[in-house]
Amino acid sequence: MKPIITSSLIVDQLSINDASFMQELLNTRGWKQFIGERNVHDLTFGEVGDGI
């Protein structure tokens, strides 16, 4: 997938290298409050996902 690039932002596909960042993000108070609990409590959860 080709990244989306603007003058102030680059949006690219997630990879396994982003796992710790995503775990931290999905467990922040703001994420849980406004988006909801996603039950991602350790790094192995993303490795067994369906790639969506």
Average pLDDT along the chain: 87
pLDDT score, position 7 = 97
| H or E stretch at 11 | strand 10-11
52: pLDDT strictly greater than 70? no
Residues 6+ apart with CB under 8 A from 27: 40, 41
Residue scoring higher pLDDT (27 or 51): 27
